[in-house]
Amino acid sequence: MTNLAPKFVDYSGSRFSGKHTHGDHSLDLWEPMVMPKEAIDAEIERLASLPKPDNGVRRSRFVHPRSVNEKAQSWAPGVDVSLDVLLPGERTRAVRQNSSVVNFCIQGGGSILQNGKTTHYKQYDLVTTPSMWVHEYVNDTSEIQVRLRYSNGALLERLNIHYVDEAPPPHGSSVDDLTVTAAEEGEWHHSRFGAFQITDDGAWLMPYEGLVNPPPAKIVSKHWPWEKVRNELDRYAQGLGQDYEGRRLYLLYDPVTGRSNGTTTNFFATITNRPAGISDRPHRHASAAMNYYFAGEGHSVVQGKTYPWRAGDFMFSAPGWAIHAHTADKGPVYELTIQDMPFCINTDCLLWQEDMKGPISLLGSHAGFLTNRDQLAKAS
């Protein structure tokens, strides 16, 4: 074993080891990347041609060239994205892990068995899997099933705390099914095992019994069927004219995430309907963003560089704090966007600038931004 010793590094006079520019330290952003449809289709074909693995998982990770950590190869620093293929009649072995998962079906369909409950899904449906839920994927159709699978596993791998259990307990037998009544939850929050306030400005003390037994949140799997999402999304987008200054999207929202506006406690998933000729205003945010385009075509401008894309392409579209904007050249464009915004809100680091001439806000702690939707409604 190599002899290691701690050391001090002098950072006096600078909070970061880089040049400061208007409050920003030097940023080393991962470059935006587009994985074209042709490459995705070829990888689907390659995965489908392989002998069935022992665990049933046919999977390829999207890996950014800047992802040099072999253990945590990823598409964005904190986001692991994979292409998963399951042939007709196949199923994977049960597994659980302490990373949460978002699955977006891009071809075929099938079902997922989670904690004893079966959820059937079709193309462009989205299904979540909470942390430590026992789950397995099934292709009970006659077509190849293809999913984009997003998780925070890359972040946990970089922290060396990613737990993967390939011999989990039977479905429904673990603590995942803990149910807390409203009365019990209220009692939990009020007693907290003897926690008490010690200053007028709200500083408290809590004993160990409270520390290791926080009130559990009722986090369960959610399913957003594309048919229902599209009906609502198209009706919403059609009611917004050319003068609307926001983005024509719906957040696939799980209320248990509360103020962090999440689909899971780590990610939000939004689906956008962007008519031809519509461009977003340039903006930026600390959360990383990736887009899967499944209709239309257009281009994105990120940090001054243009990236064209079309249906079937997958893009790392916005490294944290990169200035970016998206335009639909042929529409409507439908796109799934995944961001680690809830993680950033929960860690109180979500800087957001909606207008590059406007203020920077710490979303979740400071006031956010408004659109002109109310004014347009009154004018009509």
6-39 pLDDT, tens per residue?
A: 998 888 887 655 444 445 556 789 999 999 999 9
- 112, 45: one domain: yes
pLDDT at 20: 42
pLDDT confidence tier of residue 249, bands split at 50, 70 and 90: very high
Where are the alpha helices (H) located in 223-369, listed in sequence order? 226-238, 341-346
- 227, 355: one domain: yes
Query: Any bridge partners for residue 278, and if so which?
Result: none
In a domain, 28, yes or no: no
Stretch 232-245: mean pLDDT, rounded?
88
Stretch 223-235: mean pLDDT, rounded?
96
Stretch 72-78: mean pLDDT, rounded?
93
Determine whether 147 is exposed, middle or buried from the number of CB atoms within 10 Å of its CB (0-12, 13-18, 19+): buried
- 146, 279: one domain: no
Stretch 149-177: mean pLDDT, rounded?
88
Which residue did the predictor score with more confidence, 230 or 372? 230
In a domain, 187, yes or no: yes
- 45, 69: one domain: yes
pLDDT at 16: 59
Instruction: Please count the structural domains in the chain.
Output: 3
- 116, 191: one domain: no
pLDDT at 36: 98
- 267, 324: one domain: yes
pLDDT of 1 over the 60 cut: no
- 69, 138: one domain: yes
- 232, 256: one domain: yes
Assess contact for 80 and 61: CB atoms under 8 A: yes
Determine whether 91 is exposed, middle or buried from the number of CB atoms within 10 Å of its CB (0-12, 13-18, 19+): middle
Stretch 251-264: mean pLDDT, rounded?
96
3-state SS assignment for residue 208 = helix
In a domain, 328, yes or no: yes
Interacting residues of 84 by C-beta distance below 8 A, sequence separation 6+: 57, 58, 59, 103, 137, 146, 147, 148, 149
pLDDT of 181 over the 60 cut: no
In a domain, 341, yes or no: yes
In a domain, 27, yes or no: no
Residue 309 has which token pair?
A: 């894309």
pLDDT averaged over the chain? Answer: 91
Cis amide prior to 332 (ω within 30 degrees): yes
Which residue did the predictor score with more confidence, 169 or 18? 169
In a domain, 3, yes or no: no
In a domain, 91, yes or no: yes
- 81, 105: one domain: yes
Range of the domain at 146: 33-165
pLDDT in tens, 298-349: 999 999 999 999 999 999 999 999 999 999 999 899 999 999 999 999 999 9
Domain harbouring 255, CATH code: 2.60.120.10
In a domain, 15, yes or no: no
pLDDT of 78 over the 60 cut: yes
- 356, 273: one domain: yes
Stretch 150-174: mean pLDDT, rounded?
92
pLDDT at 19: 44
- 361, 227: one domain: yes
State the amino acid at position 329 in one-letter form.
D
Per DSSP, 255 falls in state G
pLDDT in tens, 271-296: 999 999 999 999 999 999 999 999 99
Rounded Cα distance, 78 and 73, in Å: 10
pLDDT at 18: 46
Rounded Cα distance, 310 and 100, in Å: 29
pLDDT at 375: 83
Stretch 130-140: mean pLDDT, rounded?
97
- 202, 302: one domain: no
pLDDT in tens, 192-201: 678 889 999 9
